[in-house]
């Protein structure tokens, strides 16, 4: 293939956006390994391709693990480690190309961006403890209630992933404009409340 080109084909695609550690949540190696293994198994079984990018906040050990496990695999044609090399438009490209999205849930802005892409969104928490600030947990709970996201367990994401790609449920068809407005107002109330 040409330099700088990736092998994206007509298969279903799952975009995976990894954030990183926060003051209350730390990525857990065992949880991340299980999550990546399940992604591999699901991709091989379903034929879906995985498009991945990490964040500047992703811990270096997690960058290494994601790169070793995912980069160069036929089912993962795009794996960008932001701390190694970051390219303009990677996140936008993944949001646009993907049929469904998986996002680590520690970043409210990253979850919001995924929801506003009008794609089915699964949120996973690859942490030692799922310790989130109450404001942050309220934010995720509100999106779940609105049908904008599904929570994905690191140990058994297959059913949620199948549902994300199937289009069988109403939430998996993306968030309509009027719902986006409701979610945006709810997010702003949570983000900017004292």
Q: Please measure the distance between the N-terminal and C-terminal CA atoms of the chain and give it in whole angstroms.
A: 52
Would you state the pLDDT for residue 70? 93
Tell me whether strands 100-104 and 78-80 are parallel, antiparallel or unpaired: unpaired
Residue 183 DSSP class: H
Q: What is the pTM of this model?
A: 0.81
pLDDT string in tens for the chain (194-residue length): 333 445 555 678 999 999 998 888 888 999 899 899 989 989 988 899 999 999 999 999 999 999 999 998 989 999 999 999 877 788 988 998 898 999 998 888 899 999 888 888 999 888 776 677 788 888 899 888 888 888 887 556 677 777 777 754 444 344 455 455 554 555 455 444 44
Would you state the pLDDT for residue 167? 59
d(CA 8, CA 23): 36
């Amino acid at each position: 293939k040409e330099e700088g080109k990736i092998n994206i084909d007509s298969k279903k695609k799952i975009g995976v956006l990894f954030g990183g550690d926060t003051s209350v949540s730390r990525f857990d190696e065992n949880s991340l390994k299980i999550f990546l293994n399940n992604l591999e198994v699901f991709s091989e079984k379903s034929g879906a391709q995985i498009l991945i990018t990490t964040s500047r906040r992703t811990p270096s050990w997690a960058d290494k693990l994601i790169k070793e496990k995912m980069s160069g695999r036929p089912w993962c044609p795009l794996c960008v480690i932001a701390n190694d090399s970051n390219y303009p438009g990677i996140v936008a490209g993944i949001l646009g190309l993907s049929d469904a999205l998986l996002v680590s849930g520690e970043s409210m802005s990253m979850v919001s961006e995924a929801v506003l892409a009008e794609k089915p969104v699964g949120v996973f928490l690859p942490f030692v403890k799922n310790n989130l600030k109450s404001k942050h947990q309220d934010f995720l709970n509100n999106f779940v209630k609105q049908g904008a996201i599904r929570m994905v367990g690191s140990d058994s994401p297959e059913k949620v992933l199948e549902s994300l790609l199937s289009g069988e449920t109403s939430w998996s068809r993306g968030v309509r404009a009027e719902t986006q407005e409701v979610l945006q107002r709810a997010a702003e109330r949570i983000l900017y409340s004292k």
